[in-house]
Every structure is written in structure tokens, then in C-alpha cells.
Amino acid sequence: MLQNFLPRKLASQLLVLLVLALLVAFAISTAITINAQTLNDRTVRDRFAAERVYELTKTVEALARDSRQQFTQSARTKTTYVKVETTPAVLFTADNERSRNLATEIMAAINRENVRASVLSRNNFSVVGDPRESGRNREVIAVSVPLEENEWLNFNSREPLSWYTNEEEQFRLFLFGISMICVTGVAWFFVRKLTQPVEAIAAAAHKAANGDRSARIPEEGPAEFREAAKAFNSMQTQIELFETERNRTIAAVGHDLRTPITSLRVRAEMIKQQDLREPMINTLEQVSVMADGLISYARHRKEEEYVEQLDLHALVRNFANENNIPFHSQVYPKVTAGPVSLTRAIRNLTDNANRYAKLVSITLDSIDGNAIICICDEGPGISQELLDTIRAPFVRGENSRNIDTGGYGLGLTISHEIIRSHGGELILENHDNTGLCAKLVLPLSQ
């Protein structure tokens, strides 16, 4: 489920995870800081209240009774209320550790029993125009100390408004935002440097899958990537050597078959009985075509190693005009390809269409970053069972062995490998009504 919300690129995923980690770290550090500050504030407030009650008690007891009310009134502040009364404001010490500790501390300071303390919370309604954290629950410390002649010193102290203001909180968020931007920028730079070798490996692997044996990966970056690049390059070299040797062997077999075929052809021509001579000559012609096909298949990769940026519209239009094939296109795409090999791929497909069908036509279009050459005919098409295997070597769309109705199943194979070597794909589709359409999909030049 989480993968549905993460970006597809590795660099973006790492960056998102880093930002989430920073946000979690900021939230945890903020919570710890606020909690520590709150505990420290409580300790300071309790100590201040105990000291204040001690001072007030000693001062009040030293004054005459008629002067005490005037003194307590002058001792009041915005957060502190002091008054001498005949009844205690706190009836009993609250049942919590802070209240008990506060009462114990005051009793030890003034050396008197029956001191009552209570730490409680109450709502403080927002003050208009106050930028601080008003409107939250604020603690109140209430203490009642017994005096002489049945009097009580009632002390009431409200918690100050929050130790930080909204402006300070906004400033902290601003600093976090700046830090996040700086860290994200630096992290993005290093993450991109880290993931670039992965992208290079992926690009080279795609090229290799399309038959490009020259694709190599720069052996640079971290040690793990250098080892992967070295292994990939070695694999490409070994595959290239294997394919070269395979093609050389196939070409040698096809070439070596020509001499005995020619010798047998000469001997067959010397047979006087026509009913024996003609079948033998036809068989030798078929074997000769097969040998030529082997040589052609083995050598098609070596026809052209040079590629250039091509005006595909001009190339296909000229080919169609030379072969009297209708051509339709309103686009002028550019592709990077070898003109000779690409022309051969198109020729193989048009030759197949002319051999098996009629009314061949070519169209050129550009869709989603690809140039698409469509070679369509109005022939019998290909059975659905053969569509997936027809591009393999020596697979024919026509099952007979008659060379007049078909070759030996190498034309589509060669065209397919040429297109793959250019990073494209050959797609075969039957028309909705009748006939076959061969689509040559080539990536546009960047």
C-alpha cells in the first residue's frame, strides 16, 4: 500500500524518506524540549512559591494587625493574590505529589504545621491582542498558612503565560523550514550522484536487451557500482564474442555448402531423364536459397555499424517511390539509425507483403516519442498461433516448401533484429478485416 504513494524513482524515494525522517526527528525533539521545559518550569514555580510564601509569612507576622491588609494588598501582582483572612482558602492539601511536596517544603521553612497547599488547573480565557499562548489551561498554586490569633495567610499564584510566544514558535518553524530546504538540497545532490550509476546500468541493460552489444557502463562511482559495471561489461564482451563466433560459423556453413551444391547442380543437369532431373534441380535450388539465407542472416549485423540522425520521412518516401508503393505521412520525425540496415528491414517486410499479398501501402506516424512505420497489405494475414513465433529464424507463414511462395523464414528475423538493434520493436498485427500490418517502432532522436 505504501508503494502506491511513493515516487517511482529511487532518488525521489530516498529524498522523501529523508524528509519524513527529519520531520519525525523535529517532532520528537520539539516534544522532548517542551516536556523538559515544562518540568523545569514547574520546579522553578514551586520553589518560587515556597520562597514567596515564606517571605510573606515572616513579614506579615512582623507587622501590626491593622497594617497587614494594606501590606498584602500592595504585595499583589497580576499573577499573585495575597490576603489575610479568618478562614483558609485551601481546606486541605491536594492528593498529589507536587502539592504534598510543596506543603512539606513550606512547613520546613517556617517551622509550622498545618500548612495546606494545592496545585490545580483552570481555564484562562484568551486575552484580546495577547500574542502569547493564552486560552490554554494554566496552573494555579494555592497555599494557606496558619497565623496567630486564628488568621490565615492565603496565597494564590497563577502560572505565567507560556514560556514562548507565537512569534517565537513561528521563528522556530521558520528556522526548521530553512534547515529542511538546505538539507534537502544537499541530500538531493548526493542522492542523484549515488543513483546515476543505477540509471546508467538500467539504460545499458535496455540497450543490451535490444541487441546492442556495444553498450557499456562507465566503471566509476562507489565500489559496489564499479563491480556491477565491470561484471556487466565483461558479460557484454563475452556475449559479443559468442555472437561473432556463431555468425562466423553460420556464414562458413552457408558458404561451404555452395561448392557441393554447385557440383551437384552440374551433375543433375547431365541427367537425361527429365522426370529425375527436374525434381533434383528444384531441390538443389531450395538448398541453395537456404545457404544464401544462412549467409545473409549471419552477415546482417556487419552490414553497417555507422549510425546517424535520419530524416525518416525522406528515407521512407524515397524507398516507397523507388518501389512504386503508396506512402502516406504528415509528420517528419528524426531518428538515430543506420540508413542501409533500416532500409533493408523495410525492404524485407515489403518483399514479404508483395509475396504473400497485394495492395501494399506504407504510412509513417509519430506517437509518444516514437516513430511508427506501418507496412500493411490486404493478404490472408497470419494465424494467431504464428504471430508470437513468426519472427524466429526459419519460421514461415506459409507451410509449403515451395520457394516461389515463400523464402526460408529469415526475412522477418533479420528485420526484427535490425529494429531491436536501433532500440525499437517490430509488431505484427492482423487487420480487423483482412491482411497484415507490420509496425516498425523506433525511438525519436533526443
Predicted confidence (pLDDT) per residue in 399-443, tens digit: 444 444 455 556 777 788 888 878 888 888 887 666 888 899 998
Any domain includes 252:
no
Any domain includes 62:
yes
Domain count, the chain: 2
Instruction: State the pLDDT confidence band at 116, using cuts at 50, 70 and 90.
Output: very high
CATH number of residue 396's parent domain: 3.30.565.10
CATH number of residue 138's parent domain: 3.30.450
Any domain includes 319:
yes
Instruction: State the pLDDT confidence band at 131, using cuts at 50, 70 and 90.
Output: very low
Any domain includes 173:
no
pTM of the shown model: 0.47
42 vs 358, more confident:
42
Domain ends where: 127, 145, 163?
163
Range of weakest confidence among 91-105, 113-127, 265-279: 113-127
Range of weakest confidence among 52-56, 101-105, 115-119, 277-281: 277-281
Q: Residues 5-35: pLDDT tens digits?
A: 566 677 777 777 788 888 888 888 878 877 7
Any domain includes 312:
yes
Range of weakest confidence among 166-175, 225-234, 362-371: 166-175
pLDDT attached to residue 146:
92
Range of weakest confidence among 43-47, 124-128, 172-176, 390-394: 124-128
Q: Is the pLDDT of residue 212 over 80?
A: no
Range of the domain at 121: 2-163
Instruction: Work out the average pLDDT over 269-298.
Output: 73
Instruction: Work out the average pLDDT over 231-236.
Output: 89
Any domain includes 247:
no
Any domain includes 240:
no
417 vs 321, more confident:
321
Any domain includes 168:
no
pLDDT attached to residue 61:
86
- In the 3-class helix/strand/coil scheme, how is the chain assigned residue by residue? CHHHCCCCCHHHHHHHHHHHHHHHHHHHHHHHHHHHHHHHHHHHHHHHHHHHHHHHHHHHHHCCHHHHHHHHHHCCCCCEEEEEECCCCCCCCCCCHHHHHHHHHHHHHHCCCCCEEEEEEEECCCCCCCCECCCCEEEEEEEEEECCCCCEEEEEEECCCCCCEHHHHHHHHHHHHHHHHHHHHHHHHHHHHHHHHHHHHHHHHHHHHCCCCCCCCCCCCCHHHHHHHHHHHHHHHHHHHHHHHHHHHHHHHHHHHHHHHHHHHHHHHCCCCHHHHHHHHHHHHHHHHHHHHHHHHHHHHHCCCCCEEEEHHHHHHHHHHHCCCCEEECCCCEEEECHHHHHHHHHHHHHHHHHHCCCCEEEEEEECCEEEEEEECCCCCCCCCCCCCCCCCCCCCCCCCCCCCCCCCCHHHHHHHHHHHCCCEEEEEECCCCCEEEEEEEEECC
Q: Is the pLDDT of residue 306 over 80?
A: no
pLDDT attached to residue 378:
83
pLDDT attached to residue 22:
81
Q: Is the pLDDT of residue 356 over 90?
A: no
Share of the chain above pLDDT 70, in %: 80
pLDDT attached to residue 359:
83
pLDDT attached to residue 305:
53
Give the mean pLDDT of the chain.
79
Instruction: State the pLDDT confidence band at 362, using cuts at 50, 70 and 90.
Output: very high
Domain ends where: 163, 181, 198?
163
pLDDT attached to residue 190:
80
Domain ends where: 110, 143, 163?
163
pLDDT attached to residue 401:
40
